Amino acid sequence: MNQGPIIFLGVYLAMALSWLGMVFVPEMQLGRMQETTVPPAGARYPAPRNGLAQEGRDVYRANGCYYCHTQQVRARGFGADFERGWGARHSVAPDYLYDRPVMLGNLRVGPDLANIGVRQPDAATHLLHLYNPQITAKGSTMPPYKFLFEKRKISGSPSPEALKLSGEFAPEPGFEVVPKPEALALVAYLQSLRADVPLFEAPLPLPGKKPGASSTNQPPAGATNANPAPAGQPQAK
């Protein structure tokens, strides 16, 4: 009995079906997505990231930030993403419309970054954190990204861009640490990570409304720091 052709055809069919279901149909459904307008002003959402932030996305990709950080806030009742204040609403497909590549991430060695631009709008803090995470989050296991910075001798007056380092982190006297263009681009990208616009499929929760009582494995709502309008203060990293 010659089974060769049967194996070939069968395997081809199985492969083609999974391709159809998991590549072609999602491509038809998601690949034609357009930007939407959001009330009340009819603004376009999402707005494309600016040029510097797009360069920063390349820095984020090149250094594999997505191996330790996710960019997706799950719906209420699945994990504690809301309670940790990682987003005002859960993440939905339109949030990623202009991203190439989309780096959702699978592991949270560090916190979710889908809304890091909302939680931490300050560029100087981001730069310090990238230069040495121990400055801003003592005990963090995030590696320092010193190669995004340049230590140079101060000639004339100190550069206004230089990091404000003190104590054990400061360079020797007469030297300063300035961010390279990659660091500035990466920070611009991080600042651009904000999915806080209410959408039809993902409205912002009304102020004062308690999360659904049916999500059973959540701690009591009073014990959370869920906040529909996250304050500008940095969260624990």
Can you tell me which of 110, 135, 177, 188 binds another protein, judged by CB under 8 A? 110
Instruction: Kindly state the smallest distance separating residue 114's Cβ from another protein, in Å.
Output: 9
Coil, strand or helix at 201: coil
* In contact, 105 and 71? CB cutoff 8 Å: yes
Can you tell me which of 56, 111, 117, 179 binds another protein, judged by CB under 8 A? 111
Can you tell me which of 47, 107, 124, 170 binds another protein, judged by CB under 8 A? 107
* In contact, 130 and 190? CB cutoff 8 Å: no
- If one asks whether residue 115 binds another protein (CB under 8 A), the answer comes out as no
Pick 32 or 160: Cβ nearer another protein: 32
The DSSP 8-state label assigned to residue 146 in this structure reads: G
- If one asks whether residue 231 binds another protein (CB under 8 A), the answer comes out as no
Contacts 24+ apart (CB under 8 A), 38-44: 38/197, 38/198, 38/199, 43/197
Q: Cβ–Cβ contacts within 10 Å for residue 186, how many?
A: 28
The single-letter code of the amino acid at 176 is E
Rg (CA), the chain: 22
Query: Which string of x and - marks every residue 210-229 that binds another protein (by CB under 8 A)?
Result: --x-xxxx-x---xxx----
Residues touching another protein, count (CB under 8 A): 87
- If one asks whether residue 94 binds another protein (CB under 8 A), the answer comes out as yes
- If one asks whether residue 129 binds another protein (CB under 8 A), the answer comes out as no
Query: Which string of x and - marks every residue 52-81 that binds another protein (by CB under 8 A)?
Result: ---------xxxxxxxx-x-x-xx-xxxx-
